[in-house]
Structure 1
Amino acid sequence: MQNIREPTHAGAWYTDNSIKLNKQLQHWFDDAISDGIHNNSRSKVIIAPHAGLSFSGRTAAYAYSAANISQYKRIIILGPSHHVYLKSCALSPFDAYDTPLGTLSIDKEINDELSSTKAFKRMSKVTDEDEHSFEMHTPFIKKLANEFVKSFLLNIFTNNINRHDIKIVPILVGNISHEREVEYGKYFAKYINDPETLGSRFRYTYYRPSRNEPGGRLGKFDDVDETGDSIHESISGLDHEAWDILSEALKDPKQTHESFTKYLSETGNTICGRHAFGILLGALHHANRDYTSGSVKWTHYTQSSKALLPTDSSVSYSAGYMTM
């Protein structure tokens, strides 16, 4: 009997009604397609947010629309740890993830292969069930892999997408150092070169009046420079600066990793997937392949609210993909 993880956040973070969920996802995919985001046979990495779908679902669809999922056997999901303090990476203890749209099997072969390195811990079932960063991706993956995909999407993707048995490999990423990101990158480098493998938050405390001016920590009762950018504009500027850095990933992964680490240190931008990005950059470096024909594409950006005061809260959601 399979040991299946239930969709513990369904009904709260997103609807647990399969018909409503499928319709909602389809609407977002339609939006992305209308904006020119189509599946790309060379897409290798998907960059998508993992908040409640009412907040970040549309943005995530702008990433997954670029995935030609039928050509892959597995998707490795690097998700940040939100509920346990972890100084390493950890694997799922389950055999499969259930979703309102059907079940996704975990690739046991890859799980066991990574476990044999002794560099990966194993999550407890409670930890896996509490964590949302994997689960919020599964409806998109299952949507693209099963018969709920409508006929016009089937024409965009390849014909064998119907009931495509793609597997997932959830990897919980802890609070690891730059050096550890490079180390973990070694374990994933081989999958960068594997044609059958696809890889796939913010609290604002840093403010600068403009991109060309120095910034600093913003206290709850501090005043904002009325002649400079508003807080939400400053947030956007910081986020797009990260985009600019990560856009160089395929030109020089090692230098991009160093620049990204420096950026995070200087700005304090708490990008939720920062360590996952670090591992990806480490993997790109260790894979040691020619990426000159590849590119990094950013497809969508939004904020949960337009922060005007230091007491306001705002979360940024970004979507993109890499081709190789």
Structure 2
Amino acid sequence: MLTVRPAIVAGRFYPGDPHRLRGEVDGLLAAVTVPPADPMPKALIVPHAGYVYSGPVAASGYARLMREGGTLERVVVLGPSHHAAFEGLALPESEAFETPLGIVEIDQEALARIPQVRRSEAIHRPEHSLEVHLPFLQRVAPKAKLVPLAVGQASPAQVAEVLGALWGGPETVIVVSSDLSHYRSYRECRRIDAETARQILRLDTVLPPGGACGAAPVAGFLEAARRRHLHPLLLDLRNSGDTAGGQDEVVGYGAFAFYETRTDRP
């Protein structure tokens, strides 16, 4: 039997009932219009807050995987650690993650390529930054296995090295989990997030201070994207004042897609 890391934010960040969860995710995806000519992205940066806040923004990224997601074999998801401080990157000791929609197996074959990454269930067990993406992935890439990476104090070069070992071909997609600025006024959030978005679109690994809670995984991915000459596209840039809640203190969310060939879109 597989050792399973249970869902810990079901019922809080997203519905705990599988029927409600499936309907909510499918509704968010259906609300996104994807141009027919858009190719499959190699990577996404998408937010990890509760679905009422960031779900529509995350869906703008995941909708890009729907047409060919059934062919995906592996999704590498990397996000920040909100509960544990540590050096480098960490994998769980579990062999699968669980959500109300079922089990997502961890790709053990892929893990053999990254022996430099530590294993720690203590780091992964309380962390939501990876879990909240799984229901979306279960709907758009139901056959894909998972490589879940929590990123601690790691340089862009360290993260890029791990991603290089996992890069693969069209069977593999990378998902970077990060919200943007936190607990600013609506106006200040828009200003900071616009600057962060500009840096991401330049593949610049030096982000504005306080610009992203997932600065380490984002910067590491951008280093890998720069080396691989990926082409970025901003899909959505909003904050909790646009989606749910007041505008006195808001949290920013952005969705970005990265392509191996240049798209015709600006």
TM-score (norm: length of structure 1): 0.71
Check the 8 A contact 1:183/1:282 in 2, yes or no.
Answer: no
Cα distance in 2 for residues equivalent to 1:20 and 1:39 = 32
Alignment correspondent of 2:22: 22
The alignment status of 1:61 with 2:70, answered yes or no, reads no
Alignment correspondent of 1:305: 241
Alignment correspondent of 2:46: 48
Cα distance in 1 for residues equivalent to 2:188 and 2:60 = 24
Give a deviation string over 1:197-237, Cα, whole Å, max 9, x none: 100043356xxxxxxxxxxxxxxxxxxxxxxxxx4223212
Cα distance in 1 for residues equivalent to 2:30 and 2:222 = 31
Check the 8 A contact 1:104/1:168 in 2, yes or no.
Answer: yes
The alignment status of 1:323 with 2:259, answered yes or no, reads yes
Alignment correspondent of 2:85: 85
- Shift, 1:81, TM fit: 0.3
Q: Which amino acid aligns with 2:241?
A: S
Specify which of 105, 112, 119 is matched with residue 122 of structure 1. Answer: 119
Check the 8 A contact 1:247/1:297 in 2, yes or no.
Answer: yes
Alignment correspondent of 1:101: 101
- Cα distance change, pair 38–322 in 1 and its aligned pair in 2 (3 A): farther
Cα distance in 2 for residues equivalent to 1:166 and 1:38 = 23
Give a deviation string over 1:51-92, Cα, whole Å, max 9, x none: 111111111111100123223210100110000012211011
Alignment correspondent of 1:171: 149
Look up the SS of the partner of 2:182 in the other structure.
coil
- Shift, 1:93, TM fit: 1.0
Specify which of 233, 242, 248 is matched with residue 187 of structure 2. Answer: 233
Identity %: 26
Give a deviation string over 1:81-114, Cα, whole Å, max 9, x none: 0000122110111111111112111001112321
Specify which of 158, 163, 167 is matched with residue 192 of structure 1. Answer: 167
Check the 8 A contact 1:77/1:171 in 2, yes or no.
Answer: yes
Rg (Cα) greater in structure? 1
Q: Which amino acid aligns with 2:214?
A: G
Q: Which amino acid aligns with 2:90?
A: A
Give a deviation string over 1:274-324, Cα, whole Å, max 9, x none: 111111122234xx44x3xx5211112221137xxxx94211111121111
Q: Which amino acid aligns with 1:296?
A: P
Give a deviation string over 1:170-189, Cα, whole Å, max 9, x none: 1000133xxx2213312212
Alignment correspondent of 1:274: 215
- Cα distance change, pair 2–73 in 1 and its aligned pair in 2 (3 A): same
Listed as ranges, the gaps of 5+ residues in structure 1 are: 146-163, 206-230, 250-255
Alignment correspondent of 2:128: 132
- Shift, 1:242, TM fit: 1.4
Listed as ranges, the gaps of 5+ residues in structure 2 are: 261-266
- Shift, 1:239, TM fit: 0.8
Check the 8 A contact 2:96/2:105 in 1, yes or no.
Answer: yes
- Shift, 1:193, TM fit: 5.0
The alignment status of 1:182 with 2:178, answered yes or no, reads no
Q: Which amino acid aligns with 2:182?
A: R
Check the 8 A contact 2:186/2:248 in 1, yes or no.
Answer: no
Alignment correspondent of 1:227: none
- Shift, 1:270, TM fit: 4.1
Look up the SS of the partner of 1:86 in the other structure.
coil
Give a deviation string over 1:226-278, Cα, whole Å, max 9, x none: xxxxx4223212211111121122xxxxxx22xxx2x42xxx22411211111
**In proportion to residue count, which structure has more strand?**
2
Cα distance in 1 for residues equivalent to 2:124 and 2:62 = 23
Look up the SS of the partner of 2:125 in the other structure.
helix
Cα distance in 2 for residues equivalent to 1:108 and 1:81 = 22
Q: Which amino acid aligns with 1:22?
A: R
Look up the SS of the partner of 1:170 in the other structure.
strand
Check the 8 A contact 1:187/1:283 in 2, yes or no.
Answer: no
- CA RMSD of superposed structures (Å): 2.2
Q: 5 Å matches for 1:28-39? A: 28-33=28-33, 36=34
